[in-house]
Amino acid sequence: MWVKLWVVLVLVVPAVLTVPLEQSIEAERTRLKYGGAPLTRAVRASVGQGMAIALLAGFRGVVADFVWIQSQGFWERKEWLRQYRNIELATTLQPQSVLFWDLAQWHLAWNIGYAVRTDPANRTAAVGIKREREWQERAREMLVRGIENVPNRYELYFTMGWLYWQKLSQWQSDGFCRAAEYFGLAAAFPNAPTYVGRLYARALEKCGQRQQAYEYWKMLWADRGRLHQLPSVVERELKRLENELQIPVEQRVFPEAMQP
């Protein structure tokens, strides 16, 4: 009897004592959004028993990669909803992966969006367009979550701007203005590529903010050495806008380029 009691104590007490530590670790992981979501019943059901064991063993990245690769098979079979669920699961498991968020929105807005629009099963062209826009909206929602998880890098802000520029502006009246907003956020990062700033200026112009676009091109020209801009591109845009906006000669960067 005493032997059995000691065995129980040896097995149970250490486990009980480690619970607060495990809870603290999990809380810290959640607070930092590092390592993905906890292994809930929904996640277990999605990945299956074998991969759930791998998750418990700490192979979250491996499982996320496998789930992502598996989604390619769903794409080839035109099982778009199953592909979408796998994409969502992969980003849940690896919420710090910019690549997963970026590729996820690309699949939704470009690949699946095009596939559903051209699907022969559509009764009319309008049905195809409606379906395409639904997937574009899912891509936007995906990027919103991505930015929430990775707010300290420029890439997803730029990707959101590109989504608005290329896709959402086709059916949303404020599409170019939203593109400018996100390009501007991306361009504010010190390590953002120089083309991000140029796209920001062009999106401002598309949004109807031509004067603001001109002022931004002037800033790029002033900092062209530090920012490693393409001087010829910046000069061309400045000259064009100075003529179109009829900037007074004394205020122009290139007064000699004034048209008669």
pLDDT tens readout for residues 136-177: 999 999 999 999 999 999 999 999 999 999 999 999 999 999
Does residue 186 carry a pLDDT above 70?
yes
Q: What is the dihedral of CA 67, 71, 77, 78, to 10 degrees?
A: 140
Q: Token match 């004034």: residue? A: 258
* Nearest Cα residue to 162 out of 123, 124, 136: 136
Instruction: Label residue 91 by pLDDT band (50, 70, 90).
Output: confident
C-alpha triplet 87, 110, 204: angle, nearest 5°: 115
Top-confidence residue, 214 or 3: 214
State the pLDDT at residue 44. Answer: 44
CATH of 96-208, one of 1.25.40, 3.40.720, 1.10.1060, 1.10.3470: 1.25.40
Residue extents of the structural domains in the chain: 36-94, 96-208, 216-260
**Tokens (6 digits) for 255:** 């007064």
Q: Burial of 182 by CB count in 10 Å (0-12 exposed, 13-18 middle, 19+ buried)?
A: buried
Phi and psi, residue 121, nearest 5°: -75, -15
pLDDT digits (tens, 9 = 90+) for 117-139: 999 999 999 999 999 999 999 99
